[in-house]
Amino acid sequence: MSAFNDDIEVGSAISKWFLGKSVFITGGTGFMGKVLIEKLLRTCSVRRIYVLVRPKRGVDAKQRIEDIFNYKLFDRIKATQPEVIQKVVAIKGDVTMEGLGISDEDEARLAEEVSVVFHAAATINFQEPMRVAVNLNILGTKRVVSLAKKMTNLKAFVHVSTAYGNCHLPNIDEKLYAPPMESSKLIQLTEWLDDDMLESLTNKLIHPRPNTYTYTKALAEQVLITDGANLPIVIIRPTIVCGAWREPIPGWVDNMFAFTGLLVGMGKGFLRSLYINE
């Protein structure tokens, strides 16, 4: 395992910036969300980490958050500073619901305490029906922005987008691109059209993008500009997510999606050839 110098990490400018701040995270039970929580707990002396979690398959929000600490990812923290786990608080809610489905009490608490928002919740299903993708990726972003605008001490709103939102372009720069259409108009279409009609228009709507994921993620960036014009917004555009380079465990990953599944299949000898278009 790679060696680390935690003294340098904890004493970094970024670590000092987070000192005493409370953080709100959506998508905290996903791969990137868990890695983010671990990093914040281990190297940043945050005051509290609020995680939006929806009940799932009979498991409530509080239990789902407690369950993530069973992953090997958190072994290092549990061995060296187990008390910091108590800083993580589950907020029952859902990005697909109006007002994120959170209680008035929780909303007031977040508005008063939170300084940093990480919005990572999204559907990553490339074949998601347009209505579902719009609700999660576009309306979900609008709802999180709406909550952020109520936060009285907000210092940063970090939106996890994707490098493939403009994948039809030969080169992608670190700048905002004109959206394929106004997000408000697409939202109206989902309100006016039934499922069959909406799906019949999907391919025409998303062209030249390949799927509803890249299309709605591109439009979600527009939402940040229109709805969050005065917020301190940062947009990050990850590419394909795979195993950790070195932190906190070299190669750690919790799924077999995309590149990870490809590598495992090739390494085990199950996957011997790939079909491509050209």
The predicted-structure confidence for 47-76, as pLDDT tens digits, reads as follows 999 999 999 999 999 999 999 999 999 999
Would you say residue 27 has pLDDT above 50?
Answer: yes
Mean pLDDT for all residues in the chain: 92
Would you say residue 112 has pLDDT above 50?
Answer: yes
Collapse the DSSP code of 84 into the 3-class scheme (helix H, G, I; strand E, B; otherwise coil) and give the result.
Answer: helix
Report the alpha-carbon distance of residue 175 to residue 265 in Å, rounded.
36
Torsions phi, psi for 123 (to 5 deg):
-85, 135
Q: In CATH, what number does 6-267 get?
A: 3.40.50.720
What is the arithmetic mean of pLDDT over 21-36?
96
**pLDDT for the residue numbered 9:** 63
What is the arithmetic mean of pLDDT over 81-106?
97
- Which comes out higher in pLDDT, residue 109 or 4? 109
Report the alpha-carbon distance of residue 133 to residue 129 in Å, rounded.
6
Strands 114-119 and 156-160: parallel
Would you say residue 7 has pLDDT above 60?
Answer: no
Would you say residue 10 has pLDDT above 70?
Answer: no
Pinpoint the alpha helices (H) of the chain.
6-10, 13-18, 31-43, 61-68, 75-80, 104-113, 130-133, 140-148, 183-192, 195-206, 212-227, 258-267
pLDDT, tens digit, 9 for 90 and up, residues 216-264: 999 999 999 999 999 999 999 999 888 888 888 888 888 777 777 788 8
Torsions phi, psi for 230 (to 5 deg):
-105, 10
Spell out the domain ranges in the chain. 6-267
- Which comes out higher in pLDDT, residue 278 or 266? 266
- Which comes out higher in pLDDT, residue 175 or 273? 175
